[in-house]
């Protein structure tokens, strides 16, 4: 078993604590020991007889080290772009005007369906590589731009195959066929809901970890969402919900009542929603880029005050957010939501692990995966200053990929 020592860490933020002048011992792909360098053991039973015999000793040069970041909400499987639509929206165009001009989700569905699998695979591979190079070691990746049984299942398999390649982040694959009603089901949303429900067993077999539903007045009702999520759960899938209703129509409370794995975006809430989330301890995933796009701010401080677990995501998608930089999202969360640096970092690590039910990561602690990042800084306050802090070195399962 390979044993590595990472030493001379100026500041180590473990996910819960801050350690100055720290060291980490990694055995194979797991953390074996972490603590102040002054307490570094000379040997660890079952790990190494003498620490000087470690297979590799790496010097962090007094820099800042954190757990690998976790992006808890992304849409990376698509072809083409919608930059013209983004420009129209910036000039004041309405959703109806954009749709009339050929924009909207349907436009991405059309292009993605028409793109050959090889090209689509290369595009997705390039996006995922950028996440890892910027310090994000786990990415929740949704399907949702084919909206056919075969296309959505192929997207699940594509993501699973890419995860096995060198230089890729860990993936949590979410089956998101209930993203929108496709053109061929126009006027028949209930038929499409029934169809998606019949695909969920195949999605689980193909390698999906979870199922998501876009629940608002333009897409799927709370009743649709409850049925689909129940079907997903019966097939062993974690349950997630895009609860971005306009107007609100009970999506958040329904997700809390079902104890979903996460409820995401949360642009409109009231006190009853907050109490329901707090009672159920349902994690909430917040995306600052979506807040800027919607020009509405979720009640993040109230969520934290009520003890609701909060995670962060880039919401990378072809229409609203092109970012793959979780360090930028941390900066935005500090600025937009009034989070402290440590609160934002926790949401981007421990919070993400909670939302994805991936409790083997998000912390630098013995037994956790050795997903570690050294940053271009010697203090975590740089996250609030740099607006996109650069990752100097990234370890995925103890392997240095940068």
Q: Taking a C-beta distance cutoff of 8 angstroms, is the pair 137, 373 a contact?
A: yes
CATH code: domain 69-355 is: 3.20.20.140
Chain-centre distance of CA 143, in angstroms? Answer: 13
Structure confidence at residue 271 (pLDDT): 87
- What CA–CA distance (Å, rounded) separates 102 from 261? 35
Domain boundaries, the chain: 3-67+362-400, 69-355
pLDDT tens, residue order, the chain (402 aa):
699 999 999 999 999 999 999 999 999 999 999 999 999 999 999 888 899 889 999 999 999 999 999 999 999 999 999 999 999 988 999 888 988 888 899 999 999 999 999 999 999 999 999 999 999 999 999 999 999 999 999 999 999 999 999 999 999 999 999 999 999 999 999 999 999 999 999 999 999 999 999 998 778 999 999 999 999 999 999 999 998 765 466 889 999 999 999 999 988 888 889 999 999 999 999 999 999 888 888 999 999 999 999 999 999 999 999 999 999 999 999 999 999 999 999 999 999 999 999 999 999 999 999 999 999 999 999 999 999 999 999 999 999 998
Structure confidence at residue 248 (pLDDT): 60
Backbone angles phi, psi at 76, to 5 degrees: -90, -10
CATH architecture of 3-67+362-400: Roll (2.30)
Structure confidence at residue 372 (pLDDT): 98
Q: Which two tokens stand for residue 336?
A: 């937009």
Structure confidence at residue 402 (pLDDT): 81
Instruction: Tell how strand 391-396 and strand 69-71 pair up.
Output: unpaired
- pTM of model > 0.85: yes
Structure confidence at residue 236 (pLDDT): 98
Structure confidence at residue 311 (pLDDT): 98
């Amino acid at each position: 078993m390979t044993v590595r020592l990472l030493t001379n860490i100026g500041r180590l933020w473990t996910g819960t604590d801050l350690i100055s002048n720290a060291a980490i011992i990694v055995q194979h792909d797991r953390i074996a020991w972490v603590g102040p360098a002054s307490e570094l053991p000379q040997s660890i039973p079952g790990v190494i007889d003498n620490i000087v015999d470690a297979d590799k000793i790496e010097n962090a040069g007094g820099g800042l080290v954190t757990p690998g970041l976790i992006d808890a909400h992304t849409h990376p499987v698509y072809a083409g772009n919608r930059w013209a639509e983004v420009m129209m929206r910036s000039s004041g165009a309405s959703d109806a005007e954009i749709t009339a001009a050929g924009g909207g989700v349907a436009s991405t569905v059309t292009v993605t369906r028409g793109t050959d699998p090889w090209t689509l695979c290369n595009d997705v591979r390039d996006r995922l590589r950028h996440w890892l190079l910027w310090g994000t070691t786990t990415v929740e990746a949704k399907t949702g731009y084919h909206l056919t049984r075969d296309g959505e299942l192929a997207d699940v398999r594509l993501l699973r195959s890419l995860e096995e390649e060198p230089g890729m982040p860990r993936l949590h694959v979410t089956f998101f066929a209930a993203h929108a009603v496709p053109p061929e089901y126009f006027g028949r949303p209930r038929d499409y809901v029934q169809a998606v429900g019949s695909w969920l067993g195949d999605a689980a077999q193909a390698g999906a970890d979870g199922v998501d539903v876009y629940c608002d007045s333009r897409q799927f009702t709370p009743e649709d969402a409850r049925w689909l999520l129940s079907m997903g759960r019966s097939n062993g899938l974690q349950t997630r919900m895009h609860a971005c209703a306009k107007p609100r129509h009970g999506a958040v409370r329904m997700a809390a009542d079902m104890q979903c794995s996460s409820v995401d975006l949360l642009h409109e809430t009231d006190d009853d929603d907050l109490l329901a989330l707090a009672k159920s301890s349902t994690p909430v995933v917040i995306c600052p880029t979506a807040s800027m796009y919607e020009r509405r701010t979720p009640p993040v401080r109230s969520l934290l005050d009520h003890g609701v677990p909060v995670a962060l995501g880039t919401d990378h998608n072809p229409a609203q957010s092109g970012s793959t930089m979780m360090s930028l999202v941390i900066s935005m969360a500090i600025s937009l939501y009034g989070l402290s640096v440590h609160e934002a970092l926790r949401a981007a690590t421990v919070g993400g692990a909670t939302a994805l039910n991936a409790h083997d990561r998000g912390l630098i602690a013995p037994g956790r995966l050795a997903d570690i990042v050294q940053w271009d800084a010697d203090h975590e306050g740089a996250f609030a200053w740099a607006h996109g802090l650069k990752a100097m070195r990234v370890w995925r399962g103890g392997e240095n990929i940068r």
